[in-house]
Structure 1
């Protein structure tokens, strides 16, 4: 399987900081992998595009549409929760992400009301590194 055969969708909201970090890390390690930035708002989409995403889209319909298209989907865990990310995630967005057949790699966030029983909170870079490790495992399993 070639890199271009996979669509990696990174979803983020608010200022797009977590999405920006994901896109930068993914494009640095796999420059030919197609990464699409999908923001709940234009600020988040812009941040991810500046980080090197191949293309991007913004808003509820963009999240719903691209969640169906994605092979791999990454973002903060709040994208699974209706009204997550301080209300930026609509119920339709959360449903689309949850129903997506894409492999989901989700990062915890201190700003999210979801707490994971997985140890002490870590800095964002720790979660970015873990997400990249999981992505690498998934890509290897797909022969990429």
Structure 2
């Protein structure tokens, strides 16, 4: 280990890069979900006004939009996991991505599928997105029913 310590340092740096890339991806996905929810709220402003005029409280109207956003998150995670895990399984069994064995000491790019990591990442993604989506859904509480019904 001491003889090739620079390789292990390089591997630690690689792990840090993976964490940074995943954090940036989750940040971008979260921003996209916030924007999508804001657009959805703006498109449905009249519906919000009608629901409030009929007596719905703010939390029940917010729940409608949060459930819709949660559905979009789960659907995106499903398709992302399906495609990603499928590509990993294909690489693991068929070795589509070939490497030069003289440089890398292996013939194909090795993959490691850990369902625990995948589930943890999905759970964290859903939790972070849901918590961040509470903020734009708060806008619903500020919408006046009379102004919302007249909104064009």
TM-score between the two structures when normalised by the length of structure 2: 0.22
Which protein shows a greater Rg? 2
Q: Which has the higher contact order (CA 8 A, sep 6+)?
A: 2
Structure 1 or 2: larger strand share?
1
Which structure carries more helix by proportion?
2
